[in-house]
Each structure stands twice: as structure tokens, then as C-alpha cells.
Structure 1
Amino acid sequence: MSSSPCPPSPNEVRLENALHSCSADPYAWLRDRDDPRVHAHIEAQNARTDAFLARTAPLRGRIFEEMLARVDLGRCSPPVPHGPYEYFSRFEEDKAYTIHCRRRRVSGEPEEIILDENLLAEGHGYFSLGFLSVSPDHERCLFGVDTRADERFALFVRFLANPAISVAIPGSYGSALWSNDRQIFYSVRLDAYNRPFQLVRHRVEGTSIFEENVFEEKDAAYQLRLSRTDDGRFLILTSWAHDTTELRYLDADDPNATVKLLFLRRNGVEAYATHHEEGFYIVTNEGASTSRILTIPPKNQRLERRIFRNARADVEINWMQAFAKHIVICERRRGLPTLHVVDMQTNEDHVVDLPESVIALYPEDNREFETEIFRFGYSSFVTPYTVFNYDMAHRRLDMLQQSAVAGYNPTAYASERILVPTEDGVNVPMSLVYRKGRRNDGSHPALLYGYGAYGFRLEAEFSSLRLSLLDRGFVYAVAHVRGGGELGRDWHEQGQGRLKQNSIGDFIACAEYLIREGFVHPGRLGVMGESAGGLLAAAAINQRPELFSAVVTDGPFVDVINTLADETLPFTMSEWKEWGNPSIAEDRAWLQSYSPYENVRRQAYPSILVFCSLNDPRVPYWEALKWAERIREMSSEPAGILVKVRLDGGHQGMSDRFAEVEEWASIYTFLIERLTASVGA
């Protein structure tokens, strides 16, 4: 890599920093996106990374072609029944974005294109459709568009009888939904810091739209979310702050509805709601160590709440969905999900029989309430995403569609879940997938992935892209560390705030286990983490760099103290519940103990490839740049740090599906080059 452009030396960086009068942080100058030197620095980083990718172009090209060959480029989603229509989305093989369609539920009817994202994306380096909502009379649709990657969505109303007519709504929005009145819709407006804070009611009169503010969340630590109950009778407005929620509702049939309180916020109490017949059904941890389902009648909330499903010590309720005669509940026991169906007439409960246990389950787009059919998605490390229709009355499971993966043979791969002991006596689940025939002699390369924050669950999901690693002998492992939600609320709390070191220790224990038990060669272990997972990976290599040979991070949250101390950044105050507030001495002490940026040491670091996005509203681009510079200053191998700044990407990366595959090909090329004996693998 000697021919690549070199990064500024630490002395040069300190000199520039002195000009900005920032003695405490020598790389703080990188925060000024308007400074030409910052743009020059970004260009140098990208050129250096591009030079590495050019050197490995033959391998990267092969990986890209094999990845793309497995993707069903012309795939179409199963049609979703909704009133007189069935709605679906599809791709065209040479197009980067989705086309949203419908057709009448009559055999032989042609499709009607509601929205073609490819047309909306023209002329933009980034495009994201944030939401799409069709009116109850099927004559209009609402949609939100982000072309800056900053998650500030411009809102439009389109008249489906004449798609050329679209009305732009001034402002930036996080979501929007129609009420049952064809003339009314509601939106959640964003403030200057990207916080969804205000509920707005809009009235449509011809092509004119009038608005009024309905509710405002005053507490800056809380954000608003808008949803509809499964029976369509109410809109639910949720104020949430990571581990605390408050619920309000509006009557979707009343164009002049007022917002009414349903569930009062109490610190540490979470809740979400749907509605069935004469009551709200609320999943909550109120009065329980795990979670339970309560019912509340909307007309008289002073009545005592009934328990519909009681809490059990080893069971978490992940989600529920209501239908006219049934309620479906997804429960998780010891980290593994199951589907329960409750007959609302007999109260009989049965479990849906599924072919695998280590799986990911998701409710699909179920728009009809009066139906016996529940549609859900299913995936595992070895099973591509599969859509099922389940007949709740007759207990019949029918596969509707499975993602096509060209040349894939599921019998050639194996997956397992193991428990990894830690120093404090906790067993941490770790999921593995690899190609059959794996030798247990410590000769394989491996990639360890983790996240471990916000109670987010890492599921055992299939990836056709990942096959390019597995087919080259890699073991792929996911560490379900504390701080995540795989084992429930308590598992999250054990890796939150002052206990964050538990997450990092769990991740290190999983790495040690892979080496000790012969899953991976001691010099061929790579790690990857995105966002909060980037913090996990970065902290682990600070503490135990000798375990790892290659690191990939994307939008890494590594400048923890400086970011949490800056209240001008989006979401800062809402993040304090998860991490801590550095203005409080006790909080600052534990943040200081592990924050990746502050804890870079003078030692040998593994090779690192870090991605970030210039307009990322969640983790600012400068975190990755500052962290990389500090490692270059301190590491005995400073040339092993590569940075790629996406000029058109967001927190979730690139929006163009072909560009996304190209990026994954670059990541896997880096890992293969670093973790296998030959670049021609």
C-alpha cells in the first residue's frame, strides 16, 4: 500500500487542531465539514482505500459476480390482499430500486404502478422511501422521500387516478398514516435535531392540504411514533425513550378526534398496543420481570386492567398481531422464538409447528382483519427468507414463497447455537454457520459479528452474500452478548450503562472460545460491528488486540464521550438512558473506562477497514475519521488502517442495491485478503 496517499501525520493534525483552539482533542478539527481541509482529508482516505481495492480487483470482481449471480434480480413479493386490490412490489433486473404495484383481485387484471422508486431516485446519489401508505378508499397514497441520507423525509400525497399529480407537504417528517376518513391523514414532524416531536393532522380538499398541530412531545429525551391498531379502529401515538414509553390514541373514524392518554409513562416501563373488539391489548413489563399482555377498555380506563397473558420468568413476548377471531403472539424462550395462536372465542392456545428452532420470525404485511390467514416470514442461517400463510382455524402451514438463490444447496451447510462461559459465570449464546466438512483443528478463518445495545436482537438470518465467505472455508459466528435483547429485558440491562463492559467481555469470551475450541486459526479471526456494534468491536481490539487479525466497522459509535456531551447532535439526550450522561461524574467514569476513542493504546492493532457516511444523522462521520487517526498515531502498524467515507450514503449504507453488493464484495475481499493465505482464494 506504499503507493497510496498517506494520511496526515499526528504532528500535522495537532498543528491544524491548535488553529481551532481545541487542546483537549487533537482531531476535533475533523468535525468541521465546511473546512476545505476536512474534504481534502476525506478525499485522501477514500483514495487510499480505493488503491487497496484496485490492487485486489481480480478477487473483488469474482466475489461481486458470484454475489450478484445468487440474487434474484427480478424478484416480486407475494401479493397482499387489501380491499378490492392486492398490493405487491417488484424489481426489474437492471433497476436499483423497488417498484410498488397493485392489481384488482380479479383474475387476469393488469398491474397498476403506484410508485416507481427508480423514477424518484433519478438525479440523486442517495434515495430512500421512508414510508408508503394507501388511503382507505384506495384513491391516494402518502409517501416520504429522503435524498440526503439524513433521515429527514419530504412528504407527498399522490392521486392514484392521475399519478402525475403529487402534492408536496412543507417540512420534514418521520412517518405518516391515513385515518379512516379519506380526507384526513396524520404525520409526525421532525424538529431541527431530527427528533419526531409533533403530531400534525392534515385535511385534503382537492389538491389543497390544510394542517393543524394536534400534539407535541415536550421532553427532548422522547420521540414520537405513529401506528395503527390491527383492526384499523385507532391510531396509536407512542412517546418513547429506549426503555420507557407512553401511549395515546385517536379514533381513526373521527376526523376531529382528540388525542387521549392510554398508558402513562413510568421510568423503565415499556408498552405497545393493538385493539380487538372492545379493548386495547398492551404488551408491557409493567408489574412484571419479563413481559405480559394486559387489556384496557378504551371507554372506561378507570376499570381494573385484566391480564390476558401473564408473565413467565423465562419468556419474553416480542410482538403480537390481532385478527377478528385470533391473536398471534411471538414469544421467545432462551433466545429462541415460537409462534402462539390464541382462539379468541375458546381461549385455546396452540403453537405453530416450524421445521427449525434457531430461526428469525417476522410478521408480514397482514392488512385484513377479518381473515383466518396469518402471513409471516421465516429465515435461518441455512434457510433463505420464506413467506408462509398459516390457516389459524385449520392449523395448516403453506409455503407461499422462498427467496431464490441460484446454485444454493442448503444441505451443504450446517448451523448450531452454543453457550460460551464467561469469567463472571454467565453463559453467552453464540450462533454459528459454516460449510459442512469443517475441520475442528484450528485451521479455518472466521468472522465474529456482534451488536449488543438497545435490547436489539441479532437473529439467525440467511444471507446469500455470506456464502462467498462460507465457500472459502470461513466460520461465521454471531455473539449474542449482554446489552442485546436475545434473552429478554434483563439481558439488555446487564450490558447497559455502567455495565457496558459486560458486552465487551462477552464478545472477547466468544472470540477466545472460537480459538480455544478449534473453530478458527489463532491468526485468522476477523470481527465486524456496525453502529453500536462498531463500539463493541473497537473496544474489544483495544482490550485484546492479539485475538484479532482483521476488523470491519460501519458507522462505528467510537467517540462516545464527545458525542454524548454534545446536545446539538440529533438524539443525544435520548441516548443518555442507554449509555450514560458524561456531564455526570459517575457516568463519565464508566464511559471513560471503555470508550474506544479515549482508550486507543500504544500497541499493535489488527488491520482495520472502516466505513462511514458523510450525512449520517445517527453516528457522525467524524467519529470514524478521528478514531482511525488516533489508531494510526498509536499503532505499531499504522498503514493497516483503511477508511471509506460514503459521500452519498446514510446510516444504513448505500441505497442502490447494486452499490450495496459492490460494497459487500469490497468488505469480503478485505477479510479474505487478510485472513487467508492467498489473495487468489
Structure 2
Amino acid sequence: MKTKFIYSLVIFAMLFIACKKEKTTVERIHQSIEAPIAKKVAKELRAHGDTRIDNYFWMRLSDKQKNAETPDAQTQDVLDYLNAENEYQKAAMKHTEQLQEKLYDEIVGRIKKDDSSVPYNDNGYSYYTRYEKGMDYALYCRKKLEDNAEEEIMLNGPKMAEGLSYFGIGGRSVSPNNELLAYGIDTVSRRRYTIYFKNLKTGELLSDKLENTNGSAAWANDNKTVFYTSKDSVTLRANKIYKHVLGTDQSQDELVFNEENDTFSTFVYRSRSDKFIIIGSYQTLSTEYRFLSADTPNGEWKIIQPRERDLEYGIAHFGDHFYIRTNMDATNFKLVKTPISATTKENWEDVIPHREDILLEDFTVFKNHLVLGERKEGLSTIRVMKWNGDNDHYIQFDDPAYLAYTATNPDFDTNVLRYSYTSLTTPSSTIDYNMETKEQTVLKEQEVLDPNFSKDNYISERLYATAKDGVKIPISLVYKKGTKKSADTPLLLYSYGSYGNSTEPYFSSTRLSLLDRGFIYAIAHIRGGQEMGRHWYEDGKLLKKKNTFTDFIDCGEYLVNKGFTSPEHTYAMGGSAGGLLMGAVLNMKPELWNGVVAAVPFVDVVSTMMDETIPLTTFEFDEWGNPKNKEYYDYMKSYSPYDNVEAKEYSNILITTGYWDSQVQYWEPAKWIAKLRDLKTDDNLLIMDCDMETGHGGASGRFARYKRTALSYAFMLDLEGIKE
């Protein structure tokens, strides 16, 4: 009996080794390919008596260098290196090309090709977008609110995008008389839009053209004056508001507001009531608004409440009052109102007082009702009440993890609220809700073009991990029925964790390609987001930023300890500030992840925050800290992924970036991969995909973007030995 047992163990071990060897062979294909090695040019970076050596600082190019017709020597070196990394990535992943194609076909195959949005009504017209089969870009349309009205195509996206490697439409606003359309276009992917004007009656373009804007315009009621936001040409900070009169040159435009504080950005919009033009200025800890009657575009602007440190507020107009969401004496925000004639904070009167356990996220004002977007116990809720307080209730939802939010509601005088709902298992729905009768009408549910798809085939759960300091961290997860929770089960853990942006548990038809292959998908609702209230954000920024990283690690370890997976089958993914998260957890706990996908990652924290010419830097001092202060410098340096790369073993890593990225410059991930390859002691896969045509958001077409998704999924599936 004992001999038979030992023999069985030997056979099992041989089988295990054989399986392990086969999988290892798949993983090690890249070892036969020569990886690009970036040259080193040591640059000393000194601050506070500390010296950092950056061997790859040379990779940084200015916009002028990037836009030059003929590249200089430095530009050519950078282009050669980025192209070499792209070629290496393609060679290392070549054996997955069929899998990538299959994944791409699956993903786009689930998307309805001739889809259209649910129309919304505004000022006598019904507005909607629609796609035609095979088209990457939308048609922006409207119809008059009358029987047998003909469709008007305001913007023909497919035609406008012809011949362009990148095409993005920004804000779209129709003049009060319904005859003119202002719209923004970006063809570079730097989020610098040119605003054009179109006569909707004749179809002709006006000669007016407003360059270097944020893409949106606010109409005055005279149908000839617009207000727009201009950007600093170097930092791309939105810093000036101009007034433009149709028929004049942009050089003649009047500067109506200049945001001189370089930690603030500014914007302008038309109030939902159509009564006012509103200018807002904002930074992480402070906001300020001023208003002007839309009837008098040459009139005098009035400030609602002068800016103060740590005072945030947002406004909406209704009747004789402004309604204001504010954190004044309210960590989780409250709703107040103030007369239009007396708007400063001493006049603010509570409408919805502050609550310790509920975060007030937004509000929508109707003639008879007030609708509140609240967050309680980590989940979004929609609260409806009459102005006199009657019929105060919450819309009920059944999923353990979901997202519900108010949609487009331009009409004041209605009892019908339009909202959207989705969960990890439920496709997104657009719903009309009668606030009086509580009756609901589902106008549209996202179609998933897969005959085998049913939301009943998937299971969603809500769990809580315990962080090192005892705080409970929510985890939302989804998997297909029949998926076993075991040490051999692959699991992808995703999060963002910055700026107070909550990572929402929404449905993704794209994600089905992982779930149907046995993956568990989990979201870590870590500090730095705002899921559990404002304190959740405050405890994950500045000198508490490391909570974001340790929370993510604690969630990963919790899922391993609970038997959902094991480190050999755990994957992590995050983008932008979530890419910073990926870089940090790779340095802190590389052995916890078999693979990591870091998308457009913000990894060179100290150098970027030291350089005020880089877009977003000055605007974000209250998020990360100002490293000119030694305390913040030391703290940033202690977690900055690029500064903390060491000679040790790392996970398999896929990095993505865009050459024209205006939010996280391409050189951050490029420098990071060069330093990782130089110092890491393992033979794991390390690759980068740099899209030379796009920026932060990737490809602009609705299908092209999924090429990179297919690459990311193939990267993980290949590490699992899943070939189809």
C-alpha cells in the first residue's frame, strides 16, 4: 500500500513537472529574442541635499521636438528606442497573435454595430447618436419634436474622421434658436481642441475657428456670442475664458477671466436653466464660481463665493436661488441654497444637512422634485423627494454591487427622472422613473450579441478585506457559474485609487472574454477613491498615499488566503494613477502577482511633480504634495515606482502608453521599462506597447481601442497557458 502511494506521488510529481515545464516554455519564448537596451546618460537631479541619478532623462522630448518636420538627434534616439520596444513586444507576443485576433473578434462581436443612444428632448428637438454598421465613429443627430420629423445629421463622424489616425469630438452645444452648432475637434490626442461652428439650416461651416481650447463653448441668448476656455500652450492648463462674437477673428476675442493661480484650472458653461453663463475655477481643495445673465453677454460677472482654502462647492440654478453642494462644515458634503441676490456663504441655508455616514455626490433639480446622488456603505444610491419633503424615498436595487446614476435630464418641468443602472452581471440600462408613481420604464438595455450570454450565468459578490491598520476594504467580484475557487484559479484584481474617483462595479461585455475562460474579476475599493465617504479619499492622498498601495496588496492577499486563487495565478491591472498603483505594488510585493498590466502609468512621481512646465503638475500639488517641500519630497521618493526599482525579481509586466499623451507623458513608462530591464534579476516577460499615434485614452475609434484590450488579455491568458 505504501509503495503504491509513493509510486502515485512520483507519477503526480512527473506530471506536475511536465505541465510546469510546458507552461514555462510558453512563458520563456521571449528569452530567445534580444530585448532593447536603452543607452544610459547619467543626469544628476538635486533637491533638499539629495541627489538622484536618472540615466534615462534624455528620453524626454518637448512638444516642439515632437512636432518638428525633421527630427533632431535626440528625437531620433527616442523614436528609435520606442520603436524598438514596440518591435520587441510584437516579437515576444507573436505566438499569441491568433489568440489576440480571436479575442478582438469576440469583443467587437458582442457590440451592436448599428447601435443608437436613447434620445433626450431639449428645446423642441430630440437628440441622439447612432452608429452605422462597420463605422468606428458616430453620427450626431436630432429630430424636431413633431410627427414624421426628418432626421438631421449634425455631425457625420465617419466622414469627418476620414484619413486621420486620430479623431476626437469634444463638446457640442446648439445655439438657443436651434440654428447653430459649436463643436470641438482634436486630431492629435493632446486634448487641445479647435472649436468650429456649423449652420444647421444650411449645413455650411462658418469661417469662425477657435484654436487651443478645451473643446466646449457656452452660448449667450443672442445666438451670436459664445464663451470658451483657452489652454496654456506649454502646460495645457485651462487658464483663460474668452468671449467670441461670430463673424470676428479669434485675435479680437475679449479676455473675460484669467486664472492666474497656476494651481487652479477654469471652465465655462451654460446653466441647465438657460438663465446664466457660469465660470468655474477649481483645484483639489478649493472652488470658485461667477455668473452672468445669458441675456447680457457684455454685462458684469458676479462671484458667488470667493475662493477659500478647503472650501469646495458646486452650483445649480432654480427659481430665485442657487442650490449649492458644499463641504463647508460638512466632510461628506451637504446641500444648501442661497438667493441669487445674496450668494456668499453667510447666506447659505441648509436643504440637506451633513451626514456622517452618507456622501452627497450630486444633485438634480426639477420643478417639483429634488434628486440626490448619494453613496452609502460604498454603493451609489438615488434619492427622490418633493420640495416639501413628501414622498422621500430611495430607488431600490437588488445586486450586491452595482452603479446607479442620473442621466441626461434637461427638462425642469417633468415628474420623470432618467437614470442609468448597471452591475457586474447586468448590462447597462437607461430607465425612465416616474417620481410620483415610482413606475419604471426600461428604455434600453445594452445588447450583448452573443447567443450564449445570459446575466444569470454569472455571480457577483461583495466581500471585505481587513487592511493592516484594521480598516475594512470592500471588494466587488464577478465570475461565471461553475468557476471553482482554488489555488489554480486565475484572478484579475483591478483598481484606481486616486483623486476621490470611485472604482465602480459596472458591467463590461469585454470582460466576458476573461470570465468565460475561468477568470475571476475583482475590484479593490481602496482608499484614495471615495467609495466609503470623503474620509476614504483623504486617507489615500498626500502623506497617506501609501494606504492606497497597502490596501490593494491586502485585498490581493485576502483573496489568496480565502482560497479564490494563489500568487501563481493572480494578476493586477490599473491605468494612469492606477498605473502608479501598479508600479508601487510591483516594488512592494512583486511575488504576489504572476502578471501586471500597467496602462499609461504615472510612475516618475518626483521628477514630474518637481517640473511645473509639465501638464497637470501645479494643479495636483494638493493630491500628491509639492516636492519643493522636503517632507513631501521624501515621502514621494519613498514610493515613486521609478525611483524605487531595485535589483530583484519582478512579475511578468505589460506596460502601455501613447506618444502624444498629455496627462502622463510617454517618457515616464519608457524610462521605467528601461530601468526595470536594467536592474531586474528575473527572466520574466517585460514588454511595452507604445501607440505612436495616440494619447492618454488610446485609439479614438470605437473598435480600434480593443486591439490593446486583446493584447492585455492575451498577455494574461498566455501566462495561464490558455491558448484559445
State the TM-score bracket (shorter-chain normalisation): over 0.9
Q: Structure 1: 5+ residue runs without aligned partners?
A: none
Indicate yes or no: 2:296 matched with 1:254.
yes
Per-residue deviation at 1:149?
0.6
- Greater CA drift, 68-77 or 358-367: 358-367
Is the CA contact 1:203–1:209 (under 8 Å) kept in the aligned structure 2? Answer: no
Match in the other structure for 2:426: 383
Mapping for residues 220-619 of structure 1, pairs under 5 Å: 220-301=262-343, 304-345=347-388, 348-356=391-399, 358-407=401-450, 408-619=453-664
Is the CA contact 2:373–2:406 (under 8 Å) kept in the aligned structure 1? Answer: no
Per-residue deviation at 1:299?
1.1
Is the CA contact 1:444–1:521 (under 8 Å) kept in the aligned structure 2? Answer: yes
Match in the other structure for 2:707: 662
User: What amino acid is the match of 2:220?
Assistant: S
CA offsets 1:202-251 (integer angstroms, 9 cap, x no match): 22259999631111111000001223333222232211112211121121
Per-residue deviation at 1:66?
1.2
Indicate the percent of aligned positions where both proteins have the same amino acid: 33
Is the CA contact 1:450–1:537 (under 8 Å) kept in the aligned structure 2? Answer: no
Secondary structure of the corresponding residue to residue 568 of structure 2: coil
- Greater CA drift, 628-637 or 550-559: 628-637
Match in the other structure for 2:221: 180
Per-residue deviation at 1:535?
0.7
1:67 equivalent among 93, 104, 107:
107
CA offsets 1:384-423 (integer angstroms, 9 cap, x no match): 1100011122222111001100222100001111111011
Per-residue deviation at 1:638?
5.3
Per-residue deviation at 1:305?
1.7
Is the CA contact 1:128–1:655 (under 8 Å) kept in the aligned structure 2? Answer: yes
Indicate yes or no: 2:232 matched with 1:191.
yes
* C-alpha distance in structure 2 between counterparts of 1:62 and 1:652, whole Å: 23
Mapping for residues 41-52 of structure 1, pairs under 5 Å: 41-52=81-92
Per-residue deviation at 1:171?
2.6
* C-alpha distance in structure 1 between counterparts of 2:208 and 2:87, whole Å: 39
Secondary structure of the corresponding residue to residue 554 of structure 2: helix
User: What amino acid is the match of 2:307?
Assistant: R
Match in the other structure for 1:29: 58
Per-residue deviation at 1:262?
0.6
Relative to the length of structure 2, the TM-score reads 0.90
Relative to the length of structure 1, the TM-score reads 0.96
Is the CA contact 1:452–1:481 (under 8 Å) kept in the aligned structure 2? Answer: yes
CA offsets 1:128-168 (integer angstroms, 9 cap, x no match): 11111111111001101111111101111111112232334
CA offsets 1:510-544 (integer angstroms, 9 cap, x no match): 11011111111330111011000011111001011
Match in the other structure for 1:78: 118
* C-alpha distance in structure 1 between counterparts of 2:668 and 2:691, whole Å: 14
Is the CA contact 1:483–1:494 (under 8 Å) kept in the aligned structure 2? Answer: yes
* C-alpha distance in structure 1 between counterparts of 2:400 and 2:556, whole Å: 24
CA offsets 1:621-678 (integer angstroms, 9 cap, x no match): 000011111111111225611011111111111111221112111110011111x2x2
Mapping for residues 182-221 of structure 1, pairs under 5 Å: 182-192=223-233, 193-205=235-247, 211-221=253-263
Instruction: Decide which structure has the larger Cα Rg and report it.
Output: 2
Query: CA, structure 1 residues 18+191, in 2 after alignment: closer, same or farther (shift >3 Å)?
Result: closer
* C-alpha distance in structure 1 between counterparts of 2:628 and 2:251, whole Å: 44
* C-alpha distance in structure 2 between counterparts of 1:17 and 1:8, whole Å: 15
Q: Structure 2: 5+ residue runs without aligned partners?
A: 1-29, 67-71
User: What amino acid is the match of 2:217?
Assistant: A
Is the CA contact 1:339–1:352 (under 8 Å) kept in the aligned structure 2? Answer: yes
CA offsets 1:90-114 (integer angstroms, 9 cap, x no match): 0112111111001112232221100
Equivalent pairs, count: 675
Query: CA, structure 1 residues 522+325, in 2 after alignment: closer, same or farther (shift >3 Å)?
Result: same
CA offsets 1:36-91 (integer angstroms, 9 cap, x no match): 11110011001111123322112112111111111111110011111221111001
Mapping for residues 106-121 of structure 1, pairs under 5 Å: 106-121=146-161
Is the CA contact 1:433–1:477 (under 8 Å) kept in the aligned structure 2? Answer: yes
* C-alpha distance in structure 2 between counterparts of 1:53 and 1:168, whole Å: 48
* C-alpha distance in structure 2 between counterparts of 1:20 and 1:243, whole Å: 30
Per-residue deviation at 1:17?
4.6
User: What amino acid is the match of 1:167?
Assistant: S
Indicate yes or no: 2:141 matched with 1:101.
yes
* C-alpha distance in structure 1 between counterparts of 2:35 and 2:489, whole Å: 33
* C-alpha distance in structure 2 between counterparts of 1:354 and 1:398, whole Å: 15
* C-alpha distance in structure 1 between counterparts of 2:679 and 2:199, whole Å: 59
* C-alpha distance in structure 2 between counterparts of 1:645 and 1:130, whole Å: 24
Query: CA, structure 1 residues 357+328, in 2 after alignment: closer, same or farther (shift >3 Å)?
Result: farther
- Greater CA drift, 359-368 or 37-46: 359-368
Indicate yes or no: 2:6 matched with 1:8.
no
* C-alpha distance in structure 1 between counterparts of 2:675 and 2:237, whole Å: 31
